[in-house]
């Protein structure tokens, strides 16, 4: 089968021919119907050898939807041909976090060698993929795979990030989204669907600001040294009740810190390696900084239900598997509208 692999540090990923995997006991083979390209893939492919820890060659793709194609011994409860989405941040399935469906926070996954597809294990940018356990598969029924595959990360991650701040996002509150890309443009829609907050989007690209407006942002501004001041002005000095930073480099963290309100949340989702001061005199009283990772299994059901209800959609640009390297080029350049989806 064909697969898109990252094979050499610093090189572009390549489409190569690899053996079609056979499901072992307990495993499920999917025929992939859609896979999404995330900035995190670009991020890890940009790391030098001494910081890269996901194995080579790596079949990319941690957003995946497919149809059940072959069942390993002992797998029950799944029908061949069923359309399913893959829950990526897989855990041990036995610990306290996993018992709550929060496999994204499984403290044992690393020590047990469990890695998400496309981030250690072979991913979804291939004609077929193996999933180690049927519990990682959510039935998606007749939802369109291409339109919905990115919800497994670009939907689930902002949903989880926003959900924790919902009690604060009351009438009169303000939510700021920094970075209206793959995750950010979904975050804006979720904030509109789930809260009465005023939503402000910041980005460095005019095109992305246009997209932010189209998907529901009340106000958009360029992300620059004036961002915090503009947010303070719009909120009559109060600042942002919650800032969702999908970039999290030092300049956006500084802006987040300067715009957050008393008792507000700064939620760092981007992998940028900035840092923030904390302490009684260093930040607004009782403001909170969180850095959530991906989301829980039950939250993924909720995200698909938001799509079914027509409250959230993903803007997509579609590429064939042969053209997948181009999808990553466009992601790297920052010229995609929404998410790049690869259809094997």
Are 275 and 249 contacting, i.e. CB atoms less than 8 angstroms apart? no
The separation between the first and the last C-alpha atoms of the chain, rounded to the nearest angstrom, is: 10
| Half-sphere exposure for 302 (CA within 13 Å, toward CB) | 16
> Pick from ligand NAD, Zn ion, none: which does 213 bind, CB < 5 to 8 A by kind?
none
Nearest residue to ligand NAD by CB is 181
Closest approach, Cβ 138 to ligand NAD, in A, equals 18
Are 3 and 126 contacting, i.e. CB atoms less than 8 angstroms apart? yes
Q: Should residue 183 be labelled a site residue for ligand NAD when binding is judged by CB under 6 A? A: yes
Closest approach, Cβ 251 to ligand NAD, in A, equals 6
Nearer to ligand NAD, 31 or 332 (CB): 332
- Judged by CB under 6 A, the chain residues 217 through 236 that form the site for ligand NAD are 223
Burial grade of 171 (CB within 10 A; 0-12, 13-18, 19 or more): exposed
Gap between the Cα atoms of 325 and 86, Å rounded = 22
Piece of the chain touching ligand NAD by CB under 6 A; list 1-9, 117-125, 243-251, 320-328: 243-251
The maximal CA–CA distance of the chain, rounded, in angstroms, is 63
Which of 133, 155, 178 has its CA nearest to residue 27? Answer: 133
Which string of x and - marks every residue 139-178 that binds ligand NAD (by CB under 6 A)? --------------x---x--------------------x
Gap between the Cα atoms of 187 and 135, Å rounded = 26
Q: Should residue 181 be labelled a site residue for ligand NAD when binding is judged by CB under 6 A? A: yes
Gap between the Cα atoms of 344 and 176, Å rounded = 36
Cis peptide bond N-terminal to 57, omega within 30: yes
Residues that bind Zn ion (CB under 5 A): 38, 40, 91-92, 95, 98, 106, 108, 153
Nearer to Zn ion, 91 or 158 (CB): 91
Closest approach, Cβ 45 to Zn ion, in A, equals 13
**Strand, helix or coil for residue 72:** coil
Closest approach, Cβ 294 to ligand NAD, in A, equals 4
Q: Residue 43 has which token pair?
A: 């991020």
Closest approach, Cβ 255 to ligand NAD, in A, equals 8
Piece of the chain touching ligand NAD by CB under 6 A; list 9-17, 133-141, 196-204, 235-243: 196-204
Q: Should residue 203 be labelled a site residue for ligand NAD when binding is judged by CB under 6 A? A: yes
- Judged by CB under 6 A, the chain residues 266 through 305 that form the site for ligand NAD are 269-271, 293-294
Are 137 and 87 contacting, i.e. CB atoms less than 8 angstroms apart? yes
Gap between the Cα atoms of 246 and 268, Å rounded = 7
Which chain residues interact with ligand NAD by CB under 6 A? 38-40, 43, 153, 157, 178-184, 202-205, 208, 223, 246-247, 251-252, 269-271, 293-294, 331, 334
């Amino acid at each position: 089968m064909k697969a898109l692999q990252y094979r050499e540090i610093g090189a572009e990923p390549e489409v190569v021919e690899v053996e079609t995997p056979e499901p072992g006991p307990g495993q499920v083979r999917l025929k992939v119907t859609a896979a999404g390209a995330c900035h995190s893939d670009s991020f890890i492919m940009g790391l030098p050898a001494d910081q890269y820890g996901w194995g080579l060659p790596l079949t990319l793709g941690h957003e995946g939807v497919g149809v059940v194609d072959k069942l390993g011994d002992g797998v029950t409860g799944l029908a061949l041909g069923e359309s399913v989405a893959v829950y990526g941040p897989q855990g041990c399935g036995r610990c306290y976090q996993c018992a709550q469906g929060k496999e994204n926070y499984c403290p044992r996954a690393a020590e047990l060698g469990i890695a998400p597809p496309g981030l250690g294990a072979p991913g979804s940018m291939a004609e077929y993929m193996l999933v180690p356990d049927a519990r990682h598969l959510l039935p998606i029924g007749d939802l369109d795979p291409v339109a919905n595959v990115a919800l497994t990360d670009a939907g689930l991650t902002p949903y989880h990030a926003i959900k924790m701040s919902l009690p604060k996002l009351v009438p009169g509150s303000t939510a700021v989204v920094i970075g209206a890309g793959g995750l950010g443009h979904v975050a804006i829609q979720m904030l509109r669907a789930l809260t009465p907050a005023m939503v402000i989007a910041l980005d460095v690209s005019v095109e992305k600001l246009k997209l932010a407006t189209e998907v529901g942002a009340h106000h958009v501004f360029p992300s620059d040294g004036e961002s915090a001041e503009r947010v303070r002005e719009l909120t009559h000095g109060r600042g942002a009740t919650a800032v969702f930073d999908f970039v999290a480099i030092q300049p956006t963290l500084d802006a987040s810190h300067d715009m957050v309100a008393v008792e507000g949340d700064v939620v760092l989702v981007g992998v940028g390696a900035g840092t923030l001061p904390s302490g009684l005199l260093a930040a607004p009283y009782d403001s909170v900084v969180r850095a959530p990772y991906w989301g829980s299994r039950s939250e993924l059901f909720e995200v698909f239900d938001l799509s079914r209800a027509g409250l959230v959609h993903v803007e997509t640009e579609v590429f064939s598997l042969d053209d997948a390297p181009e999808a990553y080029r466009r992601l790297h350049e920052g010229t995609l509208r929404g998410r790049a989806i690869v259809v094997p």
